[in-house]
Chains A and B, each alone.
Chain A
Amino acid sequence: MKNYILLIFFVLNFGFVVNAQEWTVPAEEAEKVSPYIFEDDFVTDGEILYENSCTSCHGTPTENNFMPFSPPPGDPASEQFQSQPDGALFYKIQKGRGIMPVFENILAEEEIWSLIAYFRSFNKEYVQPEFDYGDEVLSELKFDLDFDENIDKLVVKVFSDGEVEEGIDVSAFVVGMFGKFPLGKTKTNELGLAYLDVDPSLPGDKQGNLDILVRVRKGYAIEKATTSMKIAEPAQQTSLIEGRHLWSTGDKAPVWLLVTFLLIVVGIWGVILYIIFGLFRLKKIG
């Protein structure tokens, strides 16, 4: 009985707290949809961003291990997030409230959409609403890649509808086994060229090849491609247990250890055997 009262009390109280702190989003903001397609690459961008800027409070999605703030930040994979339209999430990330920081001036719109793409990747039922591009004409983007060995820079030449143009966003990544390593983000100059630094000591494969993902964006138009380029040091792949070490396999024991061990064992057992054989000759001694 007592438990019932407690429970009722708790539920009432809970409702009160939630109601009191309802975070309302203006209707027109909530209707906003993403002009970017939520594809794998985009989700990965969001994941990297999330881990850098959001995990500390929101925890790992699906694990419900967010910080115990009031109101609670919530788990992005949870119903609390997934039941909201994209536009509402977009608005809340931009504007912030209380402990939730304002990201408007920190993250570009594209980046915020990538975060939402990441959140939606936990929701199997989600279907991305279509963006109405209206009469906006998407430019056709193309680019060429080159590596300038003298200055260790990746050179990207971008054509928008066949013409070079200044101010087109260019970003590049090295594609690794578990993720993307950003080389940088820049804009084309008046010659349509964008330069990105490449650390020459980056480990490539045996030939020094790296998979480079380049993405260019103008307005809502995005073009990207992954190219294998020979721009890194050929990697010398040596196994940690190659050679004679204390931590190597038994047949690769360090020589000093083998010698010391065997000398000691042979020395002591030599004497032991000498004595044992000597004892058997005891009888003959007069």
Chain B
Amino acid sequence: MAGIHKSEVTISQSGKMEHDLLRTVNWNGRFKLWMGFLSLLLLVCLYFYYLQLRDGLSVTGMHDIVSWGIYISNFVFFIAVSLIGMLISSVLGMIGYKWIKPISRIAEIIAVAFALVAGLVIITDMGRPDRLQHLVMYGRIQSPIVWDITIVITYVVLSLLLLYLPLIPDIALCNKKLTGLPAFQRRLYKILSLGWADKPGQFKVIKRYFRILLIMIIPVALAIHTVTSWLFAMTLRPGWDSPIFGPYFVSGAFVAGCAAVIIAMYFFQKNYKLQEYITNRHFDLMGKLLVLVSLVYVYFNINEIIVPAYKFKPFEVEHIGNLFYGHDSALFWMVQTGGLIIPFLLLMIPKMRKPLPITIISVVILVAAWFKRYLIVVPTQLTPYYPIQNVPERYHSYTPTIAEIAITVASFVLVLMIITILSKLFPIIPVWEMKEENENQKQ
């Protein structure tokens, strides 16, 4: 009697879970409104990209002295945020932490969206995107830019696979359980589920592939952001000429990524009514993770400044002076204290790791992280080794134009669109993994 009773409970429990998690897969009115809004915004921004295509990069605020502006800052930021997929699914997952299960797909969707759009952002920084193929035809393998393009493409594909593999059983499930789907969606599910039939052999294969991917994504993710940092560190310039730029970028990436995941978690928990699956405990643990990675990042920040400042090399001094009390000092101190030190101190208080406070703190961190990339990219170019002379007055500073800002906004709009569509097309929480987890706990 008791045995039967227990299995009934399990079935109904997993039935409820299936119902809860599949419920979010739909195209409701709010989704359409939101997508409509994003599309409109995108259209406006695309107009500015049209202007840039027509007139070239002269529509931007970039010039001979500052030839990398907010496009490249934004690119670095996007790559940074996308690293979080690797940290959560791969590093924490392989250590054996079970709590990451319900949020791992969120992290992977964020990784895919940001990495995909990062590739586009590089293209927006090109005056002649029609010559993109020249990179393959004439690129020098000695150039970090070639390494960067190679690794970005590799990372996008790996992230897509990492998202897709654990999705296959869930797609099959969607196809089986959901009713009233539009025809295109059914066809999509059918193609994407690759003939999945919940067979043990299939699970074995998927799990093996997934493990390979989890291992491989770690060096590739480290490489992508290290190579991104090398775009700067391999040049002889004050502020960039630093041997710790790789780890400095990677640790900063985890800070930005954790913040992005926390914001997304909050959004999905509230909007998709997933309080039972994304719990306060998850926010608490993500908060602790964020404190850890912030500490590492603060450590690298101190190194980045104190080592050159102590040696007092002329051009480094000018650069650091500019950050500390010069032209960019207001932004610098806001980012370093307001966006890094204060947030991580606050997060050490347990109450601050409740969903709402931690989300607000994460928003601050994420915004600061964007400006941090700006502070890494732009001021260095304004303190070159060659004196800036015989140039028009506006070359002595850099201010992004409306077109530049609009095109950057477009990249964010695209990221949001990709996240929205993916989270509506597929269950945002891995159903079969949660069921399996449930089963394991029972035994």
Contact with B195, one of A250, A269, A282 (Cβ below 8 angstroms): A282
Given the interface pairs A272-B158, A283-B194, the reply to whether A248 lies near B150 with Cβ below 8 Å is: no
How distant is the Cα of A246 from the Cα of B234 in the complex, in angstroms?
12
Contact with A246, one of B142, B157, B195 (Cβ below 8 angstroms): B142
Contact with A253, one of B142, B168, B209 (Cβ below 8 angstroms): B142
Number of interface residues of B (CB under 8 A): 26
Would you list 17 pairs from A and B whose C-beta atoms are within 8 A, ordered by A residue?
A247-B142, A253-B140, A257-B141, A261-B141, A265-B150, A268-B158, A271-B216, A272-B158, A272-B161, A275-B161, A275-B209, A279-B165, A279-B168, A279-B194, A282-B194, A282-B195, A282-B196
How distant is the Cα of A123 from the Cα of B56 in the complex, in angstroms?
46
For A281, give the chain B residue with the smallest CB separation: B205
Is B367 positioned at the interface, with any CB of A under 8 Å from its CB? no
The interface residues of chain B, by DSSP majority, are classed as helix
The interface residues of chain A, by DSSP majority, are classed as helix
Is B213 positioned at the interface, with any CB of A under 8 Å from its CB? yes
| Complex interface residues of chain A between 251 and 276 (CB less than 8 A to chain B) | 253-254, 257-258, 261, 265, 268-269, 271-272, 275-276
Q: A247-B142, A279-B209 are in contact. List 19 more A-B contacts (CB 8 A).
A: A248-B142, A249-B140, A250-B139, A253-B141, A253-B142, A261-B147, A261-B150, A268-B154, A271-B216, A272-B158, A275-B165, A276-B161, A279-B165, A279-B168, A279-B194, A282-B168, A282-B196, A282-B205, A286-B201
Determine whether the beta carbon of B201 is less than 8 Å from that of A285. Answer: yes
Instruction: Specify which chain A residues have a CB less than 8 angstroms from the CB of B205 in the assembled complex.
Output: 278, 282, 285
**Lowest 10 CB-CB distances: which A-B pairs, in order?**
A283-B195, A250-B140, A285-B201, A253-B141, A282-B194, A275-B209, A246-B142, A285-B202, A253-B142, A286-B201
Is B212 positioned at the interface, with any CB of A under 8 Å from its CB? yes
Give the interface centre of B140, B201, B212 by most chain A CB atoms within 10 Å.
B140
Is B199 positioned at the interface, with any CB of A under 8 Å from its CB? yes
Number of A-B contacts (CB under 8 A): 60
For A250, give the chain B residue with the smallest CB separation: B140
Is B220 positioned at the interface, with any CB of A under 8 Å from its CB? yes
Is A280 positioned at the interface, with any CB of B under 8 Å from its CB? yes
Give the interface centre of A258, A265, A279 by most chain B CB atoms within 10 Å.
A279
Nearest-Cβ distance from residue A257 to partner chain B, whole angstroms: 6
Instruction: Specify which chain B residues have a CB less than 8 angstroms from the CB of A250 in the assembled complex.
Output: 138-142
How distant is the Cα of A233 from the Cα of B356 in the complex, in angstroms?
79
Determine whether the beta carbon of A269 is less than 8 Å from that of B201. Answer: no
How distant is the Cα of A265 from the Cα of B199 in the complex, in angstroms?
33
Nearest-Cβ distance from residue A268 to partner chain B, whole angstroms: 6
| Complex interface residues of chain A between 60 and 107 (CB less than 8 A to chain B) | none
Determine whether the beta carbon of B141 is less than 8 Å from that of A275. Answer: no
Instruction: Specify which chain B residues have a CB less than 8 angstroms from the CB of A249 in the assembled complex.
Output: 140
Determine whether the beta carbon of A278 is less than 8 Å from that of B195. Answer: no
For A246, give the chain B residue with the smallest CB separation: B142
Instruction: Specify which chain A residues have a CB less than 8 angstroms from the CB of B158 in the assembled complex.
Output: 268, 272
How distant is the Cα of A282 from the Cα of B201 in the complex, in angstroms?
9
Instruction: Specify which chain A residues have a CB less than 8 angstroms from the CB of B209 in the assembled complex.
Output: 275, 278-279
Instruction: Specify which chain B residues have a CB less than 8 angstroms from the CB of A280 in the assembled complex.
Output: 194
For A282, give the chain B residue with the smallest CB separation: B194
Which of B's residues lie within 8 Å of A, judged by CB?
138-142, 147, 150, 154, 157-158, 161, 165, 168, 194-196, 199, 201-202, 205-206, 209, 212-213, 216, 220
Nearest-Cβ distance from residue A242 to partner chain B, whole angstroms: 15
Which of A's residues lie within 8 Å of B, judged by CB?
246-250, 253-254, 257-258, 261, 265, 268-269, 271-272, 275-276, 278-280, 282-283, 285-286
Determine whether the beta carbon of B213 is less than 8 Å from that of A275. Answer: yes
Instruction: Specify which chain B residues have a CB less than 8 angstroms from the CB of A286 in the assembled complex.
Output: 199, 201
How distant is the Cα of A202 from the Cα of B189 in the complex, in angstroms?
77
How distant is the Cα of A250 from the Cα of B139 in the complex, in angstroms?
7
Instruction: Specify which chain B residues have a CB less than 8 angstroms from the CB of A271 in the assembled complex.
Output: 212, 216
How distant is the Cα of A131 from the Cα of B140 in the complex, in angstroms?
65
Given the interface pairs A282-B168, A282-B194, A285-B202, the reply to whether A268 lies near B216 with Cβ below 8 Å is: yes
Nearest-Cβ distance from residue A207 to partner chain B, whole angstroms: 36
Nearest-Cβ distance from residue A118 to partner chain B, whole angstroms: 27
For B208, give the chain A residue with the smallest CB separation: A278
Instruction: Specify which chain B residues have a CB less than 8 angstroms from the CB of A275 in the assembled complex.
Output: 161, 165, 209, 212-213
How distant is the Cα of A286 from the Cα of B138 in the complex, in angstroms?
48
How distant is the Cα of A3 from the Cα of B351 in the complex, in angstroms?
71
Given the interface pairs A269-B154, A282-B168, the reply to whether A258 lies near B195 with Cβ below 8 Å is: no
How distant is the Cα of A268 from the Cα of B157 in the complex, in angstroms?
11
How distant is the Cα of A280 from the Cα of B272 in the complex, in angstroms?
33
Instruction: Specify which chain B residues have a CB less than 8 angstroms from the CB of A268 in the assembled complex.
Output: 154, 158, 216, 220
Nearest-Cβ distance from residue B111 to partner chain A, whole angstroms: 16
How distant is the Cα of A12 from the Cα of B311 in the complex, in angstroms?
53
How distant is the Cα of A24 from the Cα of B154 in the complex, in angstroms?
81
Determine whether the beta carbon of A258 is less than 8 Å from that of B201. Answer: no
For A258, give the chain B residue with the smallest CB separation: B141
Nearest-Cβ distance from residue A285 to partner chain B, whole angstroms: 4
How distant is the Cα of A128 from the Cα of B161 in the complex, in angstroms?
85
Nearest-Cβ distance from residue A84 to partner chain B, whole angstroms: 33
For A279, give the chain B residue with the smallest CB separation: B194
Nearest-Cβ distance from residue B202 to partner chain A, whole angstroms: 5
Instruction: Specify which chain A residues have a CB less than 8 angstroms from the CB of B220 in the assembled complex.
Output: 268
Determine whether the beta carbon of B157 is less than 8 Å from that of A272. Answer: yes
For A253, give the chain B residue with the smallest CB separation: B141
Give the interface centre of B141, B150, B161, B205 by most chain A CB atoms within 10 Å.
B141
How distant is the Cα of A276 from the Cα of B162 in the complex, in angstroms?
12
Nearest-Cβ distance from residue B227 to partner chain A, whole angstroms: 11
Instruction: Specify which chain B residues have a CB less than 8 angstroms from the CB of A254 in the assembled complex.
Output: 142
Instruction: Specify which chain B residues have a CB less than 8 angstroms from the CB of A279 in the assembled complex.
Output: 165, 168, 194, 209
Instruction: Specify which chain A residues have a CB less than 8 angstroms from the CB of B168 in the assembled complex.
Output: 279, 282
How distant is the Cα of A190 from the Cα of B140 in the complex, in angstroms?
65
Nearest-Cβ distance from residue A8 to partner chain B, whole angstroms: 34
Nearest-Cβ distance from residue A172 to partner chain B, whole angstroms: 38
How distant is the Cα of A220 from the Cα of B146 in the complex, in angstroms?
67
How distant is the Cα of A280 from the Cα of B205 in the complex, in angstroms?
12
Nearest-Cβ distance from residue A162 to partner chain B, whole angstroms: 59
Nearest-Cβ distance from residue A45 to partner chain B, whole angstroms: 32
Instruction: Specify which chain A residues have a CB less than 8 angstroms from the CB of B212 in the assembled complex.
Output: 271, 275
How distant is the Cα of A246 from the Cα of B147 in the complex, in angstroms?
14
For B204, give the chain A residue with the smallest CB separation: A285
How distant is the Cα of A282 from the Cα of B164 in the complex, in angstroms?
14
Instruction: Specify which chain B residues have a CB less than 8 angstroms from the CB of A253 in the assembled complex.
Output: 140-142
Instruction: Specify which chain A residues have a CB less than 8 angstroms from the CB of B202 in the assembled complex.
Output: 282, 285
